[in-house]
Amino acid sequence: MQWLISIICAVVAYLLGSLNGGIMVTQLLNNADIRESGSGNAGFTNVKRVYGTKCAALVCVVDVVKTIIACGVGGFVISHFTENSYMAGALLCGLFAQLGHIFPIYYGFKGGKGFICGMTTVFMADPLILLVAFAVLTVVTLISKYVSLGSLSATLSYAIMFVVFHNDDVAAYLIAIALAVVVFISHRENIKRLINKNERKTYFFGMDKKKKEESK
């Protein structure tokens, strides 16, 4: 019975995660499919590059809210009706919301990369770990100008922190590792470009305009 409850929560989280913010927002506001523009990815970074910060912010809101609902409700149900902790339940449902975001059943299984879903899941499981991971994301991205490198660094940091600080909850840290592995797999093309030094940089401030022009 406990396994059935966990499976049901995971399936519901996947269906909720399949409501891909990048696709929904760009279809609604721009009558276009973001997957046909830029890098072809239905994620925050590609939306920002193609349609700007305001549109990307709405995408972020959609993806954060759906993950909060999946983790919050799923974590509550699993912790109350199974032997697993709220943290493990939240991470499990966040993992499946992330998979829904990457492979959305409503959009031909072609979605985003799941980083925002992953970070939101971490927040729902342990806000302090999220703060550290977000700091890593910010510092690495601002220094390197590579959003992908910042995302991967933050992902690696939270996986390590769950193992270190929650080693008494085996289910929780194993799911956290799985969450991170999914992000790395979804960023495999970015990793190749980073290795080959042809990954596209993203500039956030006016002081970087000159460098941005030079990179074109």
Q: Which pTM does this prediction carry? A: 0.89
Please give the chain's pLDDT, 216 residues, in tens. 899 999 999 999 999 999 999 999 999 998 999 999 988 888 888 898 899 989 999 999 999 999 999 999 999 999 999 999 999 999 999 999 999 999 999 999 999 999 999 999 999 999 999 999 999 999 999 999 998 999 999 999 999 999 999 999 999 999 999 999 999 999 999 999 999 999 988 776 554 444 444 444
Structure tokens at 55: 């549109």
Between vectors from CA 32 to CA 27 and to CA 35, what angle results, nearest 5°? 95
Q: Which residue has the tokens 């499981």?
A: 125
The residue behind tokens 């349609």 is 51
Local structure of residue 201 (DSSP, 8 states): P
pLDDT for res 210: 45
From residue 141, how far is each of 46, 79, 150, 202 by CA, in Å? Answer: 15, 36, 5, 9
